[in-house]
Structure 1
Amino acid sequence: MNTNNKLPRVPVSGVVSTPAAPMSRRQRGRAAPWILGLVVLAVAAGGWWWWKGRGADGANGGPGGPARAASGAGAPGAGGAAGRGGRFAANRVQPVSVMPARLQDIRHTAAAIGTITASNTAVVRAQVSGVLQQLHFTEGQQVKAGQPLAQIDARAFQAALGQAEGQLARDKATLDNARIDLARYKDLLAKDAIARQQVDTQQATVRQLEGTVKSDQAAVDSARLQVTYTRVLAPISGRVGLKQADIGNVVQTGDTNGIVSITQTRPIALTFAVPSALLPQITAGLKGSASLAVEAWSRDGKVRLATGKLATADNAIDLSTDTIKLKALFPNDDDALYPNQSVSVKLQLATEQNRLAVPAAAVLRGAQGFYVYVVAPDNTVSTRVVQTGAVDGDWMAVDGKLEAGDRVVIDGVDRLREGAKVEVIASDPKQRAGANAAPRRQRGASAPAGAEPSASAASGARRHRAASASSSSD
């Protein structure tokens, strides 16, 4: 073969590149067999590539794989969503979550929003002015009535007390002397040795001195009381707040904030309002032997904070809102409730014993009224019309052709119809099959280091090597 007449390389796609310069008829005759062979080889390589790619797609559930075959097997024949085996296919088994109906006590409750209030509140103020020397409490501490809270400098008040006691002693001595003189004058009057006027004058002097002694005694008591006021005591039992004065400050009797405030939180009160239509039931409950239970919940209604009892009702209905204000008491031993806290309230008015109940999520409403889907033992569903009753938490009392233990659908009802076939799955997504499986990698994502290549990646590598071999052979 003439080496000067090299043919151009033929790419994998089978398209022949145009020669750089025109060839003679003799050269074209010699090159024709080679060109034809390269075209045949390129077409064979392309067909092999396409066949391998189709086989890999079929193995991975692609267009020709078992997934499409399964989808086509369930199709009714014509086009549309059902023919494509889609989510809402007529013969598709629908996954649902169920809960059994059960017998339980159903509470009749009234819901409201209430505010926690302290049973008593006291602002501890200084009763004498002076320098604050000591604080005997910790902020947020529970204290008892009469417990020392603070100490004010008492030296000035003790000095005033000593002065009052000295004045009292002096006036008592003067009174004693006047009484002795009065006794002597009375003896002389009996002997007619002095005039009666002198005896009367002495008696008046004694009474005057007795009044002076009483006044001095009162001054002593007042000075002693001022000394006791320098020792600040808790007026009520409760929880102390943040201190309003520091050691070394001069506290005054007229300070607005005082030294500290105390709120009585054991027990603690809850005030709330309910419609006046419930007043007959509330009045009967207050007069009965058993108190009405009251529950305090967090504002979102997810956490129950405390349980107490209804204490009393207001003496008049609020005409602007047509409600009656109520007050409940809670022991609050764990300090879960704070004054001025806003909570959700559930007032228990009555209790129905041993009622048939289903989850509230299972009850639907349609043209025939309220109904539920019941799953039969053969995993088919049927509708049961029910009459609804009171709701207690997540459960609702119902009446109808339903028995305790019947499985009612609580999730997946939007895709159901009468007689549909269902598959029961766990209501909690974390407990469902495959919930903990590793997520599938997206197409084109790189494999982790050290991982084995997938079948599609190996097939692609083989196609690349075949194309390279085909290109180099020419």
Structure 2
Amino acid sequence: MNNKTVTAFAVLVVIVAGCGKTDVPGAPIAGSSAGGAPVSVTTVAAEQRDVDVQLEATGAVTALSSVDIKPLISSTITQVHFKEGQFIKAGQLLFTLDSRADETNVAKAQAQLQKDLASLADAQRQLARSKELLAQNFVSQTAVDTNQSLVDAQSAVVESDRAAIKAVQVGLSYTRIVAPNSGRAGTVNVFPGTLVQPGSPPLVTITQLDPIAVAFNLPQRNLPDALQSLRSGGGRVTAVLPEGRGTLTGKLAFVDNSVDANSGTVRVKAAFDNKNEVLWPGAFVGVRLVVQTLKNAIVVPQAAIVQGARGRVVFVVEPGNRAVARQVELVNASGTDAVVTGLRAGERVVLDGRQNLRTGSPVIERPAEGASGAGSGRPGASAAGSVASR
């Protein structure tokens, strides 16, 4: 065998040896899985807890009731009985209009009633006398019938007078404008002496602030979830106030009866108690609608999941401080948390240092800075998004 043949054989051996190496995630590295230097990692424990599946959107605060107050007659404002921004109770007197003409009409109608009542009484006396005379054969039946007709006609006149009084009293009632609902008064646009008419701009707007609603749009694909939540009594909805001012919890109260063909979304509303008036009509807030609760779910940080050619895996530290790749299925994800299957509660999942691991790699755990479990979430914390398997 000459020198060239020996050289070619050596090159072939090197190539074959190189082909034996693999770079598949999770496969052991030659010389490292059994006797390589330990890899420094941080771990978190897989948690088991209930996780809320939420839909997120941006909503606009809207009043459940907002009424524009307008006069029903043309008249002049004589008195305003409240102040701008005041809380108004239903039935409270708001404005008084000039009522002199209507009061005069009522008095005139009542006087006419008294006159016609007197005529009715006289006709009834004549009827009674004619009946007595008929019994004594001094008058004919025709005279009695005539007096009876007079009584009937006068009774109809009296009823007409009473109806006329009710009509003018209705007109008189329009001179006192009362609140149809409770709420907060807006800007007052009139003052004593202002002439108002039915077609004039609103005198004031009364807006109900407690309870209050938040309206938002959901994609068409989430309509079944919203309807199911509404049928079950209204799913829990959280309003996230801007600038970190806290949250409010309410219930889903309304799902529109059609999908917007232009946007492919459906309009929904949630109702909130608003005693402290932290929600104000026209403001924008973040909205989270709980559509499902995953019971006893296994939760790990999303950062611990490695996406490989064969799916998602996490590295679990087993007894003996060796890392093992475990294939998992993603059920739900939001923020830093992920709900997965394929793990058991309490298993130690590698968070930092996973990029240097293969199955069987020895590890040394180091303390994690500020780590306190999967996603650092408290038990029962919510996870937004949609179920990945749907």
TM band (smaller chain): 0.5 to 0.7
The alpha carbon displacement at 1:402 in A equals 7.8
Mapped partners of 1:329, 1:114: distance in 2: 12
| Structure 1 position 252, deviation (Å) | 2.1
**Aligned partner letter, 2:294:** E
Counterpart of 1:262 in 2: which secondary structure? strand
Instruction: Give the corresponding residue for 1:446.
Output: none
Aligned Cα root-mean-square deviation (Å): 4.1
- Structure 2 residue aligned with 1:268: 212
Distance in 2 between the 1:179 and 1:162 partners?
Answer: 26
The answer for the alignment partner of 1:352 in structure 2 is 294
Q: Given that residues 116 and 271 in structure 1 are in contact (C-alpha distance below 8 angstroms), is that contact kept between their aligned partners in structure 2?
A: yes
Structure 1 position 346, deviation (Å): 1.8
Q: What residue in structure 2 maps to residue 149 of structure 1?
A: 94
> Which amino acid counterpart does residue 189 of structure 1 have in structure 2?
L
Whose radius of gyration is greater, 1 or 2? 1
After alignment, is 98-107 or 326-335 more displaced?
98-107
How many residues are paired up?
Answer: 330
Structure in which a larger fraction of residues adopt helix: 1
Aligned to 1:123: 68
Aligned to 2:379: none
Shift of 1:316: 4.1
Deviations for 1:340-365, whole angstroms, at most 9, x for unmatched residues?
A: 44433222111123333234455565
- Structure 1 pair 326–384 and aligned structure 2 pair: CA distance change class (3 A): same
Displacement of 1:399 after TM fit?
4.4
**Which of the residues 186, 190, 204 maps onto 2:131?**
186
C-alpha distance after superposition, 1:156-202 (max 9, x if no partner): 32232222211211121121112212222232333333454444333
Deviation of residue 242 (structure 1)?
A: 1.9
Aligned to 1:110: 55
Identity of matched residues, %: 34
**What is the identity, as a one-letter code, of the residue corresponding to 1:294?**
V
Q: Secondary structure at the match of 2:151?
A: helix
Tell me the equivalent position of 1:294: 237
**CA distance change for structure 1 residues 283 and 253 in 2, over 3 Å: closer, same or farther?**
closer
Question: Which residues in structure 2 correspond to 1:59-458 (within 5 Å)?
Answer: 102-257=47-202, 259-288=203-232, 291-298=234-241, 305-360=247-302, 363=305, 365=307, 370=312, 387-399=329-341, 404=346, 406=348, 409=351, 417-418=356-357, 426=369
More relative contact order, 1 or 2 (CA 8 Å, 6+ apart): 2
Q: Which amino acid aligns with 1:353?
A: K
Normalized per residue, the structure richer in strand is: 2
> What secondary structure does 1:193 align onto?
coil
Do the aligned residues in 2 keep the contact of 1:374 with 1:409 (CA within 8 Å)? no
Shift of 1:324: 4.0
1:372, CA displacement in angstroms?
A: 6.5
Classify 1:97/1:344 alpha carbon distance in 2 versus 1 (closer, same or farther; 3 Å).
farther
Amino acid at match of 2:331: G
Q: Is the 8 A contact 2:78 2:192 kept in 1?
A: yes
- In structure 2, what is the Cα distance between the partners aligned to 1:105 and 1:174? 84
Unaligned runs of 5+ in 1: 1-92, 429-474
What TM-score results when the alignment is normalised by the length of structure 1? 0.57
Alpha-carbon separation, structure 1, partners of 2:277 and 2:42: 40
Q: Structure 1 residue 422: deviation in Å?
A: 9.7
Shift of 1:107: 1.3
Distance in 2 separating the partners of 1:426 and 1:138: 57
| Matched letter for residue 197 of structure 2 | Q
1:336/1:381 CA distance change after superposition, 3 Å: farther
**Unmatched tracts of structure 2, length 5 or more:** 1-38, 372-390
Structure 2 CA distance for aligned equivalents of residues 161 and 123 of structure 1: 29
Shift in Å, 1:420: 9.8
Change (3 A) 1:164 1:408: farther
Shift in Å at residue 245 of structure 1? Answer: 1.7
Question: 2:45·2:345 contact (CA, 8 Å) conserved in 1?
Answer: no
Decide whether aligned partners of structure 1 residues 114 and 168 sit closer, same or farther in structure 2, where only a CA change above 3 A counts: same
| SS of residue matched to 2:190 | coil
Q: 8 Å contact 1:107–1:390 — kept in the other structure?
A: no
* Aligned partners of 1:108 and 1:348 also within 8 Å: yes
State the AA in 2 paired with 1:297: V
Provide the secondary structure at the position in 2 that maps to 1:333. Answer: coil
Letter in 1 for 2:217: A
CA distance in 2, matches of 1:138, 1:366: 68
The 1-side partners of 2:126 and 2:367 are apart by: 114
- Cα distance in 2 for residues equivalent to 1:186 and 1:98: 113
Shift in Å at residue 400 of structure 1? 5.4
